Amino acid sequence: MIKRRLCREYIEEIERLERSVVELEEQIIELKTQLNMKTEEATNLYIENQNLRHKIEMLEKTHKQLVEMLKKMKIPFVIVDEDEFEDVEIDK
């Protein structure tokens, strides 16, 4: 009787542990999926960042070429560096 009861308790504990292992395995799978999604998102953001940096470099190059062309053509123009000026409010 005691032996049977002890065995039943051990069997119940083993079943509980098996359920816990299954739950942990499911959580691991879910976390791996989330990690893969975040990795893919980070990769996409990196690629987008690189593309935008390239576009900025191309725009800066085009800007410099345009300024040089205007200088060679001796066309009067004014280049305003926005960083050198403060915002000024004008009262009407």
Length of the chain: 92
Q: Is residue 24 part of a domain?
A: yes
Q: How does DSSP assign 1-36, residue by residue?
A: -HHHHHHHHHHHHHHHHHHHHHHHHHHHHHHHHHHH
- pLDDT band at residue 6 under the 50/70/90 scheme: confident
Confidence check: pLDDT of 18 > 70 = yes
Residue 82 inside a domain? The answer is no
Question: Residue 68 falls within a domain, yes or no?
Answer: yes
Residue 41 inside a domain? The answer is yes
> Does some domain include residue 88?
no
Instruction: Judge whether 87 lies within some domain.
Output: no
Q: How many domains does the chain have?
A: 1
Asked whether residue 79 carries a pLDDT value surpassing 70, the answer given is yes
Residue 91 in any domain: the answer is no
Output the pTM of the full model: 0.61
pLDDT in tens, 22-74: 999 999 999 999 999 999 999 999 999 999 999 999 999 999 999 999 999 98
The answer as to whether 92 is a domain residue is no
Q: What is the mean pLDDT of residues 2-18?
A: 87
Q: Which domain holds residue 60?
A: 2-76
